[in-house]
Amino acid sequence: MSAVTVIGASKRYGALAALDNVSITFAEGEFFGLLGPSGSGKTTLLRSIAGFVDLDSGEIRIDNQDVRAIPVHRRNIGMVFQNYALFPHMTAFDNIAFGLSVRRTSRDETARRVHEMLALVRLTGLADRKPRQLSGGQQQRVALARALITRPRVLLLDEPLGALDKRLRQQMQVELKQIQREVGITTIFVTHDQEEALTLSDRIAILNEGRIVQVGPPDLVYERPETAFAASFLGDANFFPGRAAGMAGAFGCIETSHGSLVTCDRLPAAETRVVLAVRPEKCLIEPADAPASEDPSLNVLEGRLMQTIYSGSSVTYRVQVGGDVFTVFEQNRQARKLSPGHPVRIVWSAAHSVLVRP
């Protein structure tokens, strides 16, 4: 296992800053997800660690050794690409063994280690198959075994599950996490899939326009986003722009175009412009004529149901409140009789109102 430290990494392509003074540390043995929209810099950062991209400035250190002057093939880094990059004319055995053949490993040692890898990625018995004879998930495992067989210090994954269908991708998320835990290798992966990042990562970093927006454990970044961008990119959120207006009893009060809303977060100075974010699954929806709670810790908005989106296990409601539309998400636990046009009430706790930077 090896720690990877990036210090002040910058890379420009003309006027575009692919990386803008990025500093981050990937701890030994952790599974770290890089998440962001296209062009955010996540793949550039990954390829810089691998050695495929030369930085304009900054350092990349593995176990405190600066590796910028070390060529790709000597960095001892394993990498799995989105398209797997398997050799189509080779069997699974030969694909996995390729890195050892380059290192002139003995035939007996190669055979032993290849069979260990086949067992690790649960492909025992498929050594003689060529890529076209394997499913997408099996090809992904061959690519993973090929990256791991040389016993690299760090494993880099570039959209490793992007080519798989949803059901297989979810299955492979579980297996990939288990394999990483068995091997114990420091793993950094790039994804644009929010669910994948939340499922696999010990920590995540959200990038935008070449900069790191927020770093932390997935649950913390999801539950306590620091910016409106982080809140909207990692999941869905309802936003309420407003201004800090002091205390309402034990709660901070925000004045918005939809009235006064309360939060448990510490308020900035009075009149400071702020944005309140609340996740759709933290909200409840009820008919407007249902008995209303007098609990001061609850936020309440009156509106009209615009749309009901049924997804089997869950239901999403889109509610118009004044000139805005907000979203409520709930598990499908009971039959609802709410139809479009119905007056409804959105309710959520002050504890779920998160102050974020615009």
The pLDDT of 283-290, averaged and rounded, is: 92
Asked if pLDDT for residue 322 goes beyond 80, the answer is: yes
The pLDDT of 199-216, averaged and rounded, is: 96
pTM listed for this prediction:
0.89
State the pLDDT at residue 1. 66
Domain boundaries, the chain: 4-232, 236-356
Q: Compute CA distances 342 → 14, 55, 153, 317, 345, whole Å.
A: 54, 57, 59, 11, 10
State the pLDDT at residue 84. 79
User: Do 4-232 and 236-356 agree at the fold level?
Assistant: no
State the pLDDT at residue 339. 83
Asked if pLDDT for residue 325 goes beyond 90, the answer is: yes
Share of the chain above pLDDT 70, in %: 99
State the pLDDT at residue 338. 79
Asked if pLDDT for residue 278 goes beyond 70, the answer is: yes
| Dihedral (Cα; 96, 101, 106, 111), 10-degree rounding | 20
State the pLDDT at residue 113. 93
Region of 200 on the Ramachandran plot (φ > 0 left; ψ -120 to 50 alpha; else beta): alpha
Could you give the count of Cα atoms lying within 13 Å of 15 in the half-sphere of its Cβ? 0
Region of 315 on the Ramachandran plot (φ > 0 left; ψ -120 to 50 alpha; else beta): beta
| Residues 238-262: tens digit of each pLDDT | 999 999 998 888 899 999 999 999 9
Q: Compute CA distances 114 → 96, 125, 156, whole Å.
A: 6, 12, 20
Asked if pLDDT for residue 62 goes beyond 80, the answer is: yes
Tell me what the pLDDT averaged over the chain comes to.
92
What's the residue count for the chain? 358
**Of the listed ranges 64-68, 91-95, 164-168, 252-256, the one predicted with least confidence:** 164-168
The pLDDT of 63-84, averaged and rounded, is: 88
What's the CATH class of domain 4-232?
A: alpha beta
Q: Residue 134's Cα: distance from chain center in Å?
A: 28
The pLDDT of 19-26, averaged and rounded, is: 97
The CATH number of 236-356 is: 2.40.50.100
Asked if pLDDT for residue 335 goes beyond 70, the answer is: no
